[in-house]
Chain A
Amino acid sequence: MKEILLISGKGGTGKTSLTSSFIHFADNCIACDYDVDASNLPILLQPQKLMTVDFSAGETASVDEDSCISCGLCAELCRFEAIDSEYRVIPLACEGCGFCARICPVQAITMHARPSGRWFSGVSRENHPVFFAELRPGEENSGKLVAQVKTMARKTAAENAIPLIIADGPPGIGCAVISSMVGVDLVVLVTEPSRSGFHDLQRVSQLMRLRGIKGVLIINKWDLNPEICEEIEDWARGNEMPVLGRVPFSTQIADSISQAQIPGADEQIKEMLFPLWENILKQLSIERKE
């Protein structure tokens, strides 16, 4: 079983357009969305939900007002400013470390499991198993939710002998991205030819180097800025990162997204994107030989 992950550093470069199209091109694969706080892949795949599971990671403190003697020790020791002036817990600020519950002299503070979000399994309209999640707004622990989605997808792949997982990744380089990369066979970086796209690409590829993960590159909307596009390709050559191809700026792709359609399902767009998919498969077979 192989896992492909699409990430970009910068948001809005076209990860979900490409991921959904590649899922459409693959005959037998599992689709995953690791962008658990702004999950967009299901908007295009429109899966029928089969399972919804509550997810809880971490805890929140709460103060029993009747037992509290207002000594103030909890507020003094809390590093997260999560205890207010009336010695009540501010749930959004509480990181669930449990320090206050340990040191309260009258045991007025208890820790409770914190609902962090939900994860789902389903089947897309094209019959691909789909795994995705929703982190509750304001929550942390996105990395743990990503790990949960990944575990379920891998288990399903193993049980049903499905050879491939294709995953849409989150933006950035933080906990969710680090968690997304675990055990991935090929990272496909999707960038756009702007100063910020290039800058963010370099940071995310630095993270991949730290983790010893190889990547390949796709430059989306390349014709909006051919000069930076070439600069990015030079950089990729210097870093031994294969460039799988360029995708031109396309109002057709934009139109299919605004109608919540998978871009690659359109014949004309498929002509444009299918060669990239063939290149990804080639890269996967190279990885296999190594």
Chain B
Amino acid sequence: MQIAVASGKGGTGKTLLSTCLMKVLGEFNPVLIDTDVEEPNAGLVLPQQATSTTNVNRLVPEIDFGKCTSCGICAELCKFNALVVMPDKVLVFNELCHSCGACAYLCPEAAIKEKEHHIGVIEEAIVPGFGTLLTGRLTVGEAQSPPLIKAVKKKKPEAELRIIDCPPGTTCAMIESISNSDYCLLVTEPTPFGLHDLELSLEAMGLLGIPGGLVINRWQGQEQELAALSERIGVPILARIPFSPELARAYMRGQDPLEAMPELRGIINDIMGRIKEALS
């Protein structure tokens, strides 16, 4: 089973929920995959022993100037303006290239080869007693995260339980992160910001047809608007994590949230019960 934990708005508690899911469900030896590759945080709140680091590359064009006739076809066909042909040379902008391979395939002089361009790493670590943590970490300065998200999600497909800690937002990176999941948990907060961004992430989730449910974090009793949205879209509220300054303080210090708020364990078990019910 693969469960994605997403949110729309940042800072609503995705990493809190995904790491607690991992800890409470430790008996299934889960794999937690941090696909917030721009700012991966799951590793900061879990005790771990690093086991390996793998480089992730994508392909970008390399011009053989011995063969290139500056015909200009590559620049003309590249939709991303990653190639600029000048009378005596061709400029390649790696950061604009989407690695589609069209230029190399279609160059009439076979003057374009593809070479590896480093975009980040996958860090693998054992979280003793609870499973495995896979972290995608984008190299600072790289603009595109989806190729790295794709790569980190390809690891450990055999695991019985995979938990995806997704990036904020509703763009291609979020879609790539939640895709092929069996269930999507959307973590929100009862504020106008949380509500607005939740609506957008529900739309993104709906595009993929993944079933999902809501978890209200920092709940303080007020939920009329969230309840109305849940009713309207037909996505249930699975759980409420009460607002607690003690939990916020403990979590900020890197302490175990399950110790700071013991009832969190019951809440997580309820969420899992509801997910299993929904998928049966």
Contact = CB atoms under 8 A, between A and B. Distances in A.
Q: Bound pair: A and B?
A: yes
Interface of A: 9-13, 16, 37-38, 40, 43, 58-59, 77, 79-80, 92, 95-99, 102-103, 135, 137-140, 142-143, 170-178, 192-197, 199-200, 203, 206-207, 210, 224-225, 227-228, 249, 254, 257-258, 260
Nearest to A201: B39
Given A207-B141, A257-B193, A137 B100 contact: no
Contact of B171 (A102, A138, A228, A257): A138
A227 B146 CA distance: 36
Contacts of A13: 11
Nearest to B204: A137
16 contacts: A10-B41, A38-B169, A40-B193, A79-B99, A92-B207, A92-B208, A95-B100, A99-B105, A102-B102, A102-B106, A103-B106, A137-B203, A172-B39, A173-B140, A174-B138, A203-B140
B253 A225 contact: yes
B252 A225 contact: yes
Contact of A11 (B10, B143, B146): B10
Interface residues of B, number: 59
Contacts of A43: 192-193, 196
Given A11-B11, A139-B171, A171 B39 contact: yes
Interface of B: 8-12, 15, 36, 38-39, 41, 44-45, 77, 79-80, 98-102, 105-106, 138, 140-146, 167-175, 190-193, 196-197, 200-201, 203-204, 207-208, 222, 245, 248-249, 251-254
Given A43-B192, A258-B192, A173 B171 contact: no
A99 B196 CA distance: 37
Contacts of B252: 192-195, 197, 224-225, 228
B45 A12 contact: no
A96 B78 CA distance: 10
Given A102-B106, A174-B138, A258-B191, A79 B9 contact: no
Nearest to A177: B38
A171 B102 contact: no
Contacts of A257: 191-193
